[in-house]
């Protein structure tokens, strides 16, 4: 260490600056991720250029495709926003998936109650959303309790509850809630008057989009403009100091789970009311899992989740056409997303290690 | 084996931890090394044991120059170090713990190792079961085990770092007997301590370190006063102490008891007056930190009372209350390690000021917070802007920021080494701010390893030794000699 | 009747094979102080690789070798990013869990529907003749036998060999291992790699023996997370971990056997049964570490407190003390 420090003082070299500048190192990460995926595609004997073309056309090539991207952006950005609370508090809420599922189940439960009644549809929809929020919150709260009072790591608690939520879903759609006669893993369709109004000929609901945009603003304001947000951040950065500064650290960690659950539940409710219009297995669409990656890249800045979630969902939706056009599996989207995060983590690590090694810690 | 170090230099950032240190320890000698924390003792020991590398200078074993690049080298050359906190493996048993660091074969010959261990142990009258698990042993036994392990590996030079902290009196006697025996066998021993009477009882020569330098050697008979002076430096001024003490009791501590497995403290009794400054003197780790944290409400005393006294002479016992209750009653604690449990790395100054202030409403008033922050930065002369992350500030400025974070009004301020690592200007500045707090009626309770600082700023002094707490001594009357004796463990009933 | 029962019990041991390899791999990795959270993805990717290499070369050996190699590479990437680049092991592991799963499905898609080959059973002479027991334990594939052996080898290695003691040391107190002359980070790389290789063999076992590769590992997605939980449940001890693995497979198996008795309930619900149990188990082994327990206990009368504390201590498992913490020598 010591010798290297004196031997390699070439801090002005191009490479050194390239790797230690935040913007250029992140750009490099993206380039590496693209090169890596191109290599994979090439290995599968396909042309990388046409793959990226297909993805872009698949996402933006037509109004129909584009509305699908926007429609799917809503749940992903909501999930990512929820995770902003837990990430800010330094927690890993892998249980997001299950919380979304519970949101959907609770929300559909309300539909069943009012099915066939002549209650106002606006009222029922609002009740559905509230019930969804309750479901998601409950599931998140359980994980928080286990973490705070049972010492069970939130990763394992969360995973366990994901599987349990799945089981509850399966039980319902194949059991008491299955449509008459068939058991195909889905309930019967909602009465159209309980659908969130959507643009003619598409699945895009402006209501859902509106809710997502409001949430982006709301979460940004809460996390960056309130005492609550600041205290949460303090707890996430240094639990001990925060406690000594007078913050109820346990309470705040629990609240982070609860708020995350609120957004998860909302996501689940919108999946039922605004898009699927049934309750079915896999209704969460994996948005909780992708949301964690979006959240990692957003680095606790809620506003940034919007564009990152957009890129991620455009990749996912755009890749759907790969199978038809190029005979490639659409899971390539997941590979690109994963590669992006991995290379960002690698370049970030390289940058920090280099800075620490050659610039030394700022002292005084 | 003879050990010699010549002109050793080692710097950490701006700190010159070892500044031209030379020392010769011949085979059979027990070399005492005295010095306060931060004097450079452990740095030199870590260099000898291969933990850190030296910047300049040389190490000679039996007159031959060697390069110690790693702990493995040091073991190979026959240097063994006993760390203050025995570096062993709590979940393993004694035998496995021995084998782990040896050059045993793939499948260790446990029978042979057991036999060798038992034989070695017999030499020194130890009785550790080879099958006991480390976490069931006392600190003293773990030390014995470590020494046996080092000897078993063939150590010819033994470094003992503060070996008597946390061990029983009987174990201390055993340890000393062992050290004497080893020196008779021709081992060279470096005994690092800050307990004068131990050094006197054991060592054949003593070196005193201060501020990274070897300030002097002494042969027996040791002159205690001289050693204290060498350790702490000449105490020059005691003038212009401004006393703000008011004749009102602020806090009363009676029969306080703290159960700490390594350093139980009991029977602590004293009063703190309003506006008073009390300095806590003693070798590091003699119990000052524990008392400080107990008064802050961070650790819970197992008995006794902490009375908070009001104007109308009513009083409330705070023992057993939550830390937040202490804090809300105006008791604040500033730790020595500022980024570990004081400030929050990753947040900027403005965010710290918002957190420290009383919450008004739900939303943060960014403008008001900015104004407050800028005012505090100016008031406290902090070199930095509101948007600077706290970890980018210098130590002095971090400490100023911590003082600026304190709320009004304050009843008691507990400080752990308030000026450690700060330059003179910052030290003076911080004390002027602290004195200002006193004139407003707050009491100050501070730990310092700088005797000069304690004498300079305290009204009264509590001396700590091995968990014992002296009666409060009036800083105006107490002599430096008297303090030195108490710190060194003499003159206690 | 007797024989068919033996065969079905025997299938528990066959199914447990991959779980055992996974648990042993993760146990070794975590003992060294590194957490490989990518298991769920690694298993699926190595299952794919094992299947593709095995079937295209028509050589089981090569299939398992390739899978082990891929498993080790993933693990080494985690080691590199956490040990050398100081990134969070949780973050890296999680992303890899997700990314390698997608990678498996992407790369493996063309091989769906390729002719299947399953590892043949090799009855052990004489032993397989033992009534009942023989049919259960000794009419298995070679890899299942290896899974039995692996448990004992891991146990022996960790507790009985010099190297194993060093392995315990670097996960427990790396600084103490360092002063004894151990190159902590190098050893961590090595053990993470070995652990990953074992996980890889486990993955290939799924696709070449237990199930097969049909584009998805149907019914086994999620198994990686379970393996991580079993590792904790087994308190990082190979024998206890193996017990946990067999218990888990038994539960899954019972789910399937009991299914016909409750025809209204979807079979996949039974497969979920171990998860609530996993949470409960984790709660039991962890609750002793929670600080409110200490506080509550302090208020109880002395003898009650002692008894409860004793029970809690018996249940409690503590992870290797340095798990997830990077080692830096000053």
Long-range contacts of B366-372 (CB under 8 A, 24+ apart): B366/A225
3-state secondary structure of A185: coil
Q: What is the CB neighbour count within 10 angstroms for residue C112?
A: 13
Residues in chain A: 364
Q: What is the CB neighbour count within 10 angstroms for residue A243?
A: 18
Q: What is the CB neighbour count within 10 angstroms for residue A62?
A: 11
Touching subunits of B (3+ CB pairs, under 8 Å) are A, C
Interface of C with A in 255-314 (CB under 8 A): 264-266, 268-269, 272, 275-276, 278-279, 282-283, 286-290, 292
3-state secondary structure of B446: strand
**Which of A299, A301, A272 lies closest to A285 in space, CA to CA?**
A272
Q: What is the CB neighbour count within 10 angstroms for residue C214?
A: 15
pLDDT at res. B157: 93
Beta-carbon separation of C95 and A153 below 8 A: no
3-state secondary structure of A186: strand
pLDDT at res. B225: 75
Q: Tell me: the pLDDT tens digits for A143-197?
A: 999 988 888 888 888 988 988 898 889 888 888 888 887 777 788 888 888 888 8
B51 lies within 8 A of chain A by CB: no
3-state secondary structure of B70: coil
pLDDT at res. B235: 58
Report the half-sphere exposure of B165 (CA within 13 A, side-chain side).
17
Fold exhibited by the domain B249-330+407-487? Rossmann fold (3.40.50)
DSSP letter, residue A194: G
Q: Tell me: the pLDDT tens digits for A12-54?
A: 688 888 888 888 999 999 999 999 999 999 988 888 998 999 9
pLDDT band, very low/low/confident/very high, at A89 (cuts 50, 70, 90): very high
A18-50 in b/e form (b: 16+ CB < 10 A) is ebbeeeebbebbeebbbebbbebbeebebebee
Report the half-sphere exposure of C110 (CA within 13 A, side-chain side).
13
The structural domains of chain B, with segments of one domain joined by +, span 3-232, 249-330+407-487, 350-406
Q: Tell me: the pLDDT tens digits for A307-328?
A: 999 999 999 998 888 877 778 8
The reported pTM is 0.88
Work out whether strand B277-281 and strand B30-34 pair parallel, antiparallel, or are unpaired.
unpaired
Angle at A304 between CA A302 and CA A310, to 5 degrees: 115
DSSP letter, residue C109: G
Question: Are B436 and B267 spatial neighbours (Cβ–Cβ below 8 Å)?
Answer: no
Q: What is the CATH number of domain B3-232?
A: 3.40.50.300
pLDDT at res. C1: 44
Q: Which of B46, B88, B99 sits opposite C176 (nearest CB)?
A: B88
Domains of chain C as residue ranges with CATH: 2-267 (1.10.3470)
pLDDT at res. A5: 42
pLDDT at res. C102: 92
Q: Give the gap in angstroms from C-alpha C158 to the nearest C-alpha of chain A.
A: 26
Beta-carbon separation of B347 and A2 below 8 A: no
Work out whether strand B205-210 and strand B213-218 pair parallel, antiparallel, or are unpaired.
antiparallel
Q: What is the pLDDT along chain B (493 residues), one digit of tens a residue?
A: 899 999 999 988 777 889 899 999 999 999 999 887 678 888 899 999 988 888 999 999 998 999 998 888 898 899 999 987 788 998 888 999 999 988 878 888 889 999 999 999 898 888 889 998 887 788 788 888 999 999 999 899 999 988 877 677 788 888 899 999 999 999 999 999 877 778 888 899 999 988 888 988 888 888 877 887 787 766 555 555 566 677 788 888 988 988 876 678 888 888 888 889 999 988 777 888 899 999 999 888 888 899 998 877 788 888 888 899 999 889 999 988 788 888 998 899 999 999 888 888 888 888 888 999 999 998 888 888 888 888 888 888 888 898 888 887 889 999 998 887 777 778 888 888 898 888 888 999 999 877 778 888 888 999 988 788 888 888 888 877 778 778 777 777 6
Top pLDDT among B410 and A199 is at B410
Q: Any residues with CB less than 8 A from the CB of A287 and at least 6 apart, and which?
A: A75, A76, A78, A79, A96, A97, A100, A267
pLDDT at res. B333: 92
C90 lies within 8 A of chain A by CB: yes
Q: Tell me how many residue pairs between chain B and chain C have CB atoms under 8 A apart.
A: 64
pLDDT at res. C267: 66
Q: What string of H, E and C letters represents the secondary structure of B319-375? A: CCCCHHHHHHCCEEEECCCHHHHCCCCCCEHHHHHHHHCCCCCCECCHHHHHHHHHH
Task: Name every chain A residue with its beta carbon within 8 A of the beta carbon of C37.
Answer: 155
Q: Give the gap in angstroms from C-alpha A245 to the nearest C-alpha of chain C.
A: 20
Q: Any residues with CB less than 8 A from the CB of B424 and at least 6 apart, and which?
A: none
Top pLDDT among A159 and A100 is at A100
For residue B277 the two structure tokens come to 């400054």
Distance of CA C176 to the CA centre of its chain: 28
Beta-carbon separation of B75 and C330 below 8 A: no
**Which of A302, A353, B418 lies closest to C83 in space, CA to CA?**
A353
Residues of chain C with pLDDT under 50: 1
For residue A174 the two structure tokens come to 């194949």
Q: Helices C274-286 & A121-150, crossing angle to 10 degrees?
A: 40
Domains of chain A as residue ranges with CATH: 47-327 (1.10.3470)
Beta-carbon separation of B87 and C160 below 8 A: no
Q: What is the CB neighbour count within 10 angstroms for residue A178?
A: 18
Q: How far, in Å, CA of C33 to CA of C323, rounded?
A: 4
Touching subunits of A (3+ CB pairs, under 8 Å) are B, C
Q: Which of C161, C169, C330 sits opposite B51 (nearest CB)?
A: C330
**Which of A230, A260, A259 lies closest to A242 in space, CA to CA?**
A230
pLDDT at res. C299: 65
Q: What is the CB neighbour count within 10 angstroms for residue B334?
A: 22
pLDDT at res. B238: 52
Burial class (CB in 10 A: 0-12, 13-18, 19+), A214: exposed
Report the phi/psi class of residue B291: left, alpha or beta, with left for phi > 0 and alpha for psi in -120 to 50.
Answer: alpha
pLDDT at res. C264: 67
Question: Are B443 and B272 spatial neighbours (Cβ–Cβ below 8 Å)?
Answer: yes
Residues in chain B: 493
Burial class (CB in 10 A: 0-12, 13-18, 19+), B197: middle
How far from each other are the two terminal CA atoms of chain B, in whole angstroms? 41
**Which of A16, A132, A83 lies closest to A297 in space, CA to CA?**
A83
Q: How far, in Å, CA of A65 to CA of A315, rounded?
A: 12
Q: How far, in Å, CA of C50 to CA of C69, rounded?
A: 10
Q: How far, in Å, CA of C202 to CA of C189, rounded?
A: 20
Q: How far, in Å, CA of B195 to CA of B489, rounded?
A: 7
pLDDT at res. A362: 39
């Amino acid at each position: 260490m010591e010798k290297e420090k004196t031997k390699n003082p070439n801090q002005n070299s191009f490479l050194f600056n390239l790797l230690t500048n935040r913007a250029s190192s992140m750009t490099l990460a993206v380039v590496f991720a693209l090169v890596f995926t191109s290599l994979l595609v090439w290995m599968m004997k396909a042309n990388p250029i046409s793959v990226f073309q297909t993805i872009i056309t698949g996402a933006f090539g037509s109004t129909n495709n584009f509305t699908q991207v926007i429609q799917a952006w809503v749940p992903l950005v909501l999930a990512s926003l929820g995770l902003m609370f837990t990430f800010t508090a330094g927690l890993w809420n892998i249980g997001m998936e299950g919380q979304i599922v519970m949101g959907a189940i609770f929300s559909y439960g309300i539909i069943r109650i009012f099915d066939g009644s002549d209650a106002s549809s606006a009222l029922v929809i609002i009740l559905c959303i509230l019930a969804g929020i309750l479901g998601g919150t409950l599931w998140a709260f359980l994980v928080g309790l286990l973490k705070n009072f049972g010492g069970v790591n939130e990763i394992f608690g969360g995973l366990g509850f994901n599987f349990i939520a799945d089981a509850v879903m399966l039980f319902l759609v194949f059991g008491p809630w299955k449509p008459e006669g068939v058991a195909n893993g889905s309930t019967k369709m909602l009465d159209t008057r309980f659908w969130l109004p959507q643009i003619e000929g598409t699945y895009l609901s402006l209501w859902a989009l509106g809710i997502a945009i409001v949430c982006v603003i709301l979460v940004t304001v809460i996390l960056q403009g309130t005492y609550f947000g600041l205290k949460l951040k303090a707890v996430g950065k240094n639990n001990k100091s925060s406690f000594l500064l007078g913050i109820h650290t346990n309470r705040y960690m629990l609240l982070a789970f609860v708020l995350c659950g609120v957004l998860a539940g909302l996501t689940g409710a919108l999946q039922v009311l605004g898009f699927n219009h049934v309750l079915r297995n896999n209704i969460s669409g994996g948005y909780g899992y992708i949301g964690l990656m979006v959240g990692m890249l957003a680095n606790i800045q809620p506003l940034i989740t919007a564009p990152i979630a957009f890129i991620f969902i455009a990749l996912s939706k755009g890749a759907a056409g790969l199978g038809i056009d190029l005979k490639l599996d659409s899971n390539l989207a997941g590979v690109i997303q994963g590669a992006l995060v991995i290379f960002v983590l690698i370049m970030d690590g390289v940058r920090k290690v280099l800075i620490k090694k050659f610039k030394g810690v700022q002292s005084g | 084996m003879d050990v010699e170090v010549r002109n050793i230099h080692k710097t950490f950032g701006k700190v010159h931890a070892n500044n031209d240190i030379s020392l010769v320890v011949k085979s059979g000698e027990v070399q005492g090394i005295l010095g306060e924390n931060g004097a450079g003792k452990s740095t030199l020991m870590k260099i000898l044991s291969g933990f850190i590398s030296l910047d300049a200078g040389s190490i000679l074993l039996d007159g031959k120059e060697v390069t110690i690049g790693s702990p493995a080298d040091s073991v190979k050359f026959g240097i063994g170090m006993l760390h203050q906190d025995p570096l062993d493996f709590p979940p393993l048993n004694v035998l496995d713990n021995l084998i782990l660091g040896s050059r045993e074969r793939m499948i260790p010959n446990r029978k042979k190792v057991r036999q060798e261990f038992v034989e070695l142990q017999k030499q020194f009258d130890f009785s550790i079961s080879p099958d006991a698990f480390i976490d069931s042993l006392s600190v003293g036994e773990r030390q014995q085990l470590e020494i046996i392990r080092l000897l078993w590996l063939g150590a010819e030079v033994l470094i003992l770092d503060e070996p008597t902290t946390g061990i029983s009196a009987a174990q201390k006697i055993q340890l000393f007997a062992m050290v004497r025996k080893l020196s008779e066998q021709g081992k060279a021993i470096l005994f690092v301590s800050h307990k004068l009477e131990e050094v006197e009882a054991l060592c054949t020569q003593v070196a005193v370190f201060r501020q990274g330098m070897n300030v002097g050697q002494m042969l027996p008979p040791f002159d205690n006063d001289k050693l204290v002076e060498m350790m702490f430096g000449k105490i020059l001024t005691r003038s212009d102490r401004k006393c703000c003490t008011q004749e009102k009791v602020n806090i009363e501590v009676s029969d306080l008891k703290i159960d700490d497995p390594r350093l139980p403290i009991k029977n602590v009794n004293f009063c703190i007056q309003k506006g008073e400054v009390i300095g806590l003197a003693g070798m590091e780790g003699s119990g000052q930190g524990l008392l400080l944290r107990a008064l802050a409400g961070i650790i819970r005393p197992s008995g006794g009372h902490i009375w908070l006294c009001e104007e109308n002479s009513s009083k409330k016992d705070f023992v057993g209350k939550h830390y937040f209750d202490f804090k809300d009653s105006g008791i604040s604690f500033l730790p020595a390690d500022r980024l570990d449990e004081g400030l929050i790395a990753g947040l900027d100054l403005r965010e710290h000021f918002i957190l420290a202030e009383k919450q008004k409403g739900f939303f943060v008033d960014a403008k008001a917070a900015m104004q407050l922050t800028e005012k505090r930065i100016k008031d406290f002369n902090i070199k930095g802007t509101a948007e600077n992350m706290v970890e980018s500030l210098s130590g002095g400025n971090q400490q100023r920021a911590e003082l600026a974070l304190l709320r009004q009004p304050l009843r008691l301020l507990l400080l752990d080494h308030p000026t450690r690592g700060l330059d003179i200007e910052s030290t003076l500045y911080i004390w002027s701010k602290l004195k200002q707090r006193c004139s407003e009626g707050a009491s100050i309770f501070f730990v310092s390893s700088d005797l000069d600082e304690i004498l300079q700023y305290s009204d009264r002094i509590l001396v700590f030794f091995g968990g014992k707490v002296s009666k409060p001594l009036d800083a105006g009357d107490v002599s430096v000699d008297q303090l030195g004796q108490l710190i060194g463990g003499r003159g206690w009933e | 009747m007797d024989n068919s029962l033996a065969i079905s019990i025997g299938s528990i041991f066959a199914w447990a094979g991959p779980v055992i390899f996974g648990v042993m791999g993760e146990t070794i990795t975590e003992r060294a102080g590194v957490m490989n959270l990518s298991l769920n993805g690694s298993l699926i990717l190595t299952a794919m690789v094992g299947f593709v290499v095995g079937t295209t070369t028509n050589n089981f050996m090569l299939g398992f070798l390739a899978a082990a190699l891929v498993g080790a590479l993933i693990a080494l990437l985690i080691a590199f990013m956490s040990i050398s680049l100081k990134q969070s092991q949780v973050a890296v592991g999680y992303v890899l869990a997700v990314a390698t799963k997608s990678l498996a499905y992407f790369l493996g898609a063309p091989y769906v529907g390729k002719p299947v080959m399953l590892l043949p059973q090799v009855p052990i002479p004489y032993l397989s003749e033992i009534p009942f027991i023989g049919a259960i334990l000794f009419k298995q594939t070679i890899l299942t036998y290896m899974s039995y052996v692996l448990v004992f080898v891991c146990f022996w290695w960790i507790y009985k060999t010099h190297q194993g003691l060093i392995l315990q040391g670097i996960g427990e107190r790396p600084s103490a291992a360092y002063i004894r002359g151990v190159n902590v980070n190098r050893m961590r790389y090595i053990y993470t790699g070995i652990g990953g290789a074992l996980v890889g063999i486990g993955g290939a076992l799924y696709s070449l023996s237990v199930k097969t590769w049909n584009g998805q590992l149907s019914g086994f997605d999620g198994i990686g997370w379970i393996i991580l939980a079993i590792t904790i449940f087994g308190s990082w001890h190979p024998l206890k971990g193996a017990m946990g693995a067999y218990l888990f497979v038994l539960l899954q198996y019972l789910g399937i056997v009991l299914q016909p008795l409750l025809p209204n309930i979807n079979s996949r619900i039974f497969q979920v049964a171990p998860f609530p149990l996993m949470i409960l188990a984790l709660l039991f082994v962890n609750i002793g570490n929670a600080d409110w327990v200490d506080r509550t206990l302090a208020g109880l009368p002395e003898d009650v407190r002692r008894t409860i504390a004793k029970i809690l201590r018996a249940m409690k498992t503590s992870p290797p003390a340095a798990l997830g913490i990077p080692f830096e020598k000053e």
